[in-house]
Amino acid sequence: MSPTGGRESAQGRGGPNARDRGSRLILFGGYPAGWRIDATEDVIRQREAVMTLTATGWGQDNPACRQIFSSTFMPGATAGGLTWFNEFQRATTSPANAVISLSTFGDIDVRAQPTKVRLPTLVFRSLRDQRIPAATGRDIAATIHAAEFLGLESDGHLLLGREPASRVFVDAVHEFLAWPLQ
C-alpha cells in the first residue's frame, strides 16, 4: 500500500527526476528564458546593479535592498506584509546565494522544452505581474500541447491570501487535479 492508501497524490517535487511519472503539470509565474536572454543593455545594467545591491545590502538589518524585490513581488501587500517578506528573504538565504540565484535566473533558457510536454498543463500568471509579464504565461501555454492559460486578477508575482485571485487559483488547481486522465 502506498503512503496515500493506494491513491495517487499530487506532488510538486521531482519533476526533472521523474518526467515519466507525472500525470499533470501546473506552472505558476514561470518563464522559459532568463533576463539576460534577448535583453537590452539597459535591462542588463539594471539587473546587474540590483545584484550589486543584493551582494552588499541583503544581509543588513535595513531592508532597503530587499525592498526592491518585495515591492515588485507583492505590490499590493500591507506594510506589515512587506516587513514580514523583507525579513523572510534575509532569514532564508545569504547575500551570496541571493546573488547566485539572480544570476542563474538570468541565464535560464528552456525555450525548446515546452513543446516536449505531453501532460495536461495549467499555466497561471498574474495579469499585472511586475516581475514577469502576463504575455510570458500565455506564450508558455501556447507552446505546450493541451495547456490552458488562466490569468489571475492580481498585480503580484506572489499571491496574497486575502486577494480574490488566491481563491480563484486554489479552486482552479483543485478542479484541474480532479479531472479524469484521458
Report the pLDDT value the prediction gives residue 182, as an integer from 0 to 100.
54
Give pLDDT tens digits for 32-91: 999 999 889 999 999 999 999 999 999 998 898 899 888 989 999 999 999 999 999 999
Give pLDDT tens digits for 22-31: 889 999 999 9
Rounded Cα gap, residues 179 and 5, in angstroms? 20
- Among 18-32, 97-111, 149-163, the minimum mean pLDDT is found in 18-32
Strands 121-126 and 25-28: parallel
In CATH terms, the superfamily for domain 15-32+110-178 is: Alpha/Beta hydrolase fold, catalytic domain (3.40.50.1820)
Per the CB < 8 A criterion, the answer to whether 127 and 151 are in contact is yes
Per the CB < 8 A criterion, the answer to whether 144 and 117 are in contact is yes
Rounded Cα gap, residues 13 and 144, in angstroms? 20
What average pLDDT is seen over the chain? Answer: 87
Query: pTM for the full model?
Result: 0.82
Rounded Cα gap, residues 138 and 150, in angstroms? 8
For residue 2, is pLDDT > 80?
no
Give, in order, the Cα–Cα distances in Å from 93 to each of 57, 77, 108: 13, 21, 20
